Structure 1
Amino acid sequence: MRGMKETAISEPADLAPPPAPGAEQYRALDFANTALALPGGQFLDLLGSPEAAARWLAERELAPPDVELYEVCVARLRALRDQLRALLASRTDALPAPDEALRAVNDALTRAPAAALLRWDPAQGLHRVQAHPTDRIVDHALAVLAADAADLLTGPDAERLAACDSPPCRRYLLRTHARRHWCSVRCGDRARAARAYARRTRRPTDRPTG
């Protein structure tokens, strides 16, 4: 985080907060929130290992339960996540969408193979095969997530997008009402506690006059 060294956590299941508002409706929003910043300079990556990424995909019906991923496949997932977060940030900050992020999402949209390819070898002759099974699964997951992100960013719910307003959290959410800027009860409690502490410790000279 800003000005703070982050410590990666290896066991995400125990510390992961509940899904942010909107994450159950948009898997792309849930995907963007797999990079978590926690109090105390800790960082939690729900895609931090092939096993964790496979579990995340399977739980969201983007991969079979017994899928085995390679690190190179997980790196592709994390790369798209970073670009998606850049698009969400530009949308919530009312800034132009980054070209690199647009290219990454558009590339993912067209990644999934539409059909098995035609191959020939002496043993089988002409036959049709899919790409490497793991590649095909990841390509499909990337395409689904990219399409979901495109729907979110261009649909009516884009107006409800917001970043959690409780540092150091950096999750995104869909506001349930105009004032909702916290992604979880945990973040809301932390923000209220921080404000209460600031009021208690404010020096007399800091108080507004008049």
Structure 2
Amino acid sequence: MDSSTPPPAAAPPGARPAPPPPLLGEPLPVELMNTVWADREGEYDALLDAGDLARWLRSVDARFSPPLDLGGPEAEASVPAPDRPSVERFRELRDALRRLAAVATRDTRPTAASPVPDLAAAVGAVNRACAYAPTWSRLAWNEDEPPARADGSSYGPEARALSRIAEETVQLFTGPDAAGLRACHAPGCVRYFVRAHPRREWCSAGCGNRARVARHYRRHHPGGADA
């Protein structure tokens, strides 16, 4: 491992290999945070290896402009998987984002804790990712379409995605969405979401249902554990 490769990021305690995490329509940095997620069976880490990263990037490909062009699920066998250093860079950024989100939301959920130790370490990881694969503006224009701006880069799709998500992280925490960032406090949940509607309390309808069931159980079983 050379000096430019970050040390392997630790998986969250108790995290297990997972099916692809649910995509909730959140900003890309939040979707990356939520590759650590949980259900009634336990907590999952959806970025354990190169195959996990490739599947996650394909699932969000269309969210990039221009798209990464990684192909759909049928391309899995023909498109080279990301290398291990790429996986570690995404894991480092993911864990840094979770630390930043915990600071911003005053999140005290023990199962949601990030292995990144503090704010300074998280900020450093984001800034390294921003600088990893710089892009530049490029004019796209042909006779059949109006002129448009595109991103130019000499880097591969994984590197471009890493830096793009890091750039969007800066926008998230310094822009209007920062005030809406929330930790989901439904029973067992470890995800984050941006509260775009004042009545939204949970990251998903499933978490809302679990929270209502837990409240009902507590009302009828005072002093008992949640269902």
Question: What range describes the TM-score normalised by the shorter chain of this pair?
Answer: 0.7 to 0.9
Q: Specify the code of the residue in structure 2 equivalent to 1:64.
A: L
Give the counterpart of 1:181 among 176, 193, 201: 201
Residue 93 of structure 2 is matched in structure 1 by 80
Tell me how far 1:113 sits from its aligned partner. 4.8
Q: Specify the code of the residue in structure 2 equivalent to 1:46.
A: A
User: In 2, distance between residues paired with 1:111 and 1:82?
Assistant: 17
Structure number with higher relative contact order (C-alpha < 8 Å, ≥ 6 residues apart): 1
RMSD across aligned positions (CA): 2.5
User: In 2, distance between residues paired with 1:46 and 1:159?
Assistant: 27
**In the alignment, is the contact (CA less than 8 A) between 2:15 and 2:45 conserved in 1?**
no
User: In 2, distance between residues paired with 1:104 and 1:63?
Assistant: 26
Tell me how far 1:100 sits from its aligned partner. 0.6
Q: Does 1:64 align with 2:88?
A: no
Residue 99 of structure 1 is matched in structure 2 by 120
Q: Percent identity?
A: 37
User: In 2, distance between residues paired with 1:34 and 1:182?
Assistant: 17
**In the alignment, is the contact (CA less than 8 A) between 1:63 and 1:141 conserved in 2?**
no
Give the direction of change, closer, same or farther, for the CA distance of 1:59–1:74 in structure 2 (3 Å limit): same
Tell me how far 1:201 sits from its aligned partner. 0.8
Residue 31 of structure 1 is matched in structure 2 by 32
User: In 1, distance between residues paired with 2:211 and 2:190?
Assistant: 13
**In the alignment, is the contact (CA less than 8 A) between 1:57 and 1:63 conserved in 2?**
no
Q: Specify the code of the residue in structure 1 equivalent to 2:70.
A: P
Tell me how far 1:114 sits from its aligned partner. 5.5
Stretches of structure 2 lacking an aligned partner (at least 5 in a row): 1-12, 62-67, 72-78, 108-117, 137-152
Q: TM-score, normalised by structure 2?
A: 0.68
Runs of 4+ aligned residues of structure 1 deviating over 3 Å after TM superposition are none
Tell me how far 1:7 sits from its aligned partner. 5.5
Aligned length: 172
Residue 119 of structure 1 is matched in structure 2 by none
Residue 200 of structure 1 is matched in structure 2 by 220
Residue 160 of structure 1 is matched in structure 2 by 180
Larger radius of gyration: 1
Tell me how far 1:70 sits from its aligned partner. 1.9
**In the alignment, is the contact (CA less than 8 A) between 1:54 and 1:63 conserved in 2?**
no
